[in-house]
Amino acid sequence: MLETLILCMALDYLTGMMAAGIFHKSKKSAEGGLESRSGWKGLCRKGISLLIVLVSYRMDLIAGTDFICNAVMAAYLVNELLSITENLGLMGVPVPKVLSGAIDLLRQKSEEQKVYQMPRKQKAKREQLIKRENEKLEKREEKE
């Protein structure tokens, strides 16, 4: 999946440069043209994204799992694909339904994986709720 993510990052950058440089329809600049600052910011974001993928891979190694990195890459991949299709739209290139369907499928997969990654606060609240419910059940059983 990493190779696909890197390929999509490169394609997103290329289509973004084309939308700005050739078609002058960039949403990142006032006149729709190329801006070196916007291009640099885009490259920096992609670099940071890849570093986060690396950190998530290391987290998987520590935890003995493989879903953290996959979920992070799936989320970034969906983001890149959405940006590519947006750039294609700016250039007037039709987006095949197969591609938009695949993006929706990846988005669903990414959302499903988010369900399994419950934040600590939510998890703690859930555990407290379960504990309270168990205590209530124990009290009822004692009364009977």
Give the range of the structural domain holding residue 127, as residue numbers without chain letter: 100-143
What pLDDT does 112 receive? 67
Do both 39 and 91 map to the same domain? Answer: yes
For residues 97 and 119, what is the distance between their CA atoms, to the nearest angstrom? Answer: 35
Do both 91 and 104 map to the same domain? Answer: no
What pLDDT does 52 receive? 97
Give pLDDT tens digits along the chain (144 positions). 999 999 999 999 999 999 998 888 887 777 778 788 888 999 999 999 999 999 999 999 999 988 899 999 999 998 899 899 989 988 999 988 888 888 788 777 767 665 455 556 666 676 677 777 777 777 877 876
What pLDDT does 101 receive? 83
For residues 64 and 26, what is the distance between their CA atoms, to the nearest angstrom? Answer: 43
Q: For residue 21, what are the CA distances in angstroms to 11, 15, 43, 135?
A: 15, 10, 16, 66
Do both 137 and 85 map to the same domain? Answer: no
Residues 6+ apart with CB under 8 A from 77: 1, 4, 5, 8, 106
The single-letter code of the amino acid at 131 is: K
Report field, pTM of the whole predicted structure over 0.75: no
Do both 38 and 7 map to the same domain? Answer: yes
For residues 119 and 121, what is the distance between their CA atoms, to the nearest angstrom? Answer: 6
Structure tokens, 74: 């799936």
